[in-house]
Amino acid sequence: MKHIQVQIQISIFCLVFSSFPQIGQSQNHTAIDIIEKADKKQRGDYSQGEMKMSIIRPDWSRETTMKMWSYQDDLSLILVTEPARDQGTAFLKRFKEMWNWQPSIDRTIKMPPSMMSQSWMGSDFTNDDLVKQSSMVVDYTHEITGEDDLEGRPCWEITLTPKDDAAVVWGKVITWIDHKDYLQLKTEFYDEDDYLVNTMTAKEITDLGGRILPRIMEMVPADEEGHMTKIEYLSLDFSKPIKESFFSVRNMQKVR
């Protein structure tokens, strides 16, 4: 089972715990406060950029380059630019719906909910991860369950449990959030039986579009030795407004 509910890249302003802190709340910040602030920092009102996805397997690897656009949490569009055989393939999310444009067969496919948990383009990501259909803010309850130190950065450990009515893949998600820069440095994804399925780690923290964010995110399946999917952000821009009309099925077929 390879389901990744991801994400996102998130972080938290540095706060000092009291001598006897209560797990689940840190001074004036609850777990949901942290998730909401970090999610807002990552997304902004709108963003656009380029990224490269590398699928790594024991005996082969493949790279795909993409352009991406988003408007808050409701609208997103991803266009494959390389390799040539996949060029022009596009994915559109509008609220709770998703479409896939395949120029090689001149066909637009509306993806049913049953397809959201399937692998995206052979990677360790799912279709749901691609368009962030499931919201880590809305679809889960949140609790600060510990503290740790990752890469020399103090972090909160936050456990996310899906709400009863949420249509999500994961039985549980645990994420470690940096106190200083609102960064999600590590996330573990568990199935309904509480078995670890995938682990995501953040690397190469740098300035992207005027925000401190990880440039690389690596996803590693727990039960697939030598398997990994790596996302590298080549550029990000949070400053250019994007109209809602940009995110249409018609535009998905002609955007370049």
Q: How confident is the model over 82-136, as pLDDT tens digits?
A: 999 999 999 998 887 889 999 989 999 988 777 777 788 888 887 776 656 567 8
Q: How confident is the model over 195-244, as pLDDT tens digits?
A: 999 999 999 999 988 888 899 999 999 999 999 999 999 999 988 899 99
Query: Which amino acid is it at 193?
Result: D
- Is the predicted pLDDT of residue 34 greater than 80, yes or no? yes
CB burial string 86-116: b at 16+ within 10 A, e below: bebbbbbbbeeebbbbeeeeeebeebeeeeb
Distance of CA 128 to the CA centre of its chain: 9
- Per cent of the chain over pLDDT 90 is 48
Q: How confident is the model over 41-78, as pLDDT tens digits?
A: 666 678 899 999 999 999 999 999 999 998 877 888 99
Q: How confident is the model over 110-121, as pLDDT tens digits?
A: 887 777 777 888
Residue 75's closest CA among 131, 20, 140, 151?
Answer: 131
Cis peptide leading into residue 83 (ω within 30°): yes
Residue-range domains of the chain with CATH: 25-254 (2.50.20.10)
Q: How far apart are CA 103 and CA 92, in angstroms?
A: 14
How far CA 112 is from CA of 73, 100, 179, in Å, comes to 19, 11, 38
3-state secondary structure of 37: helix
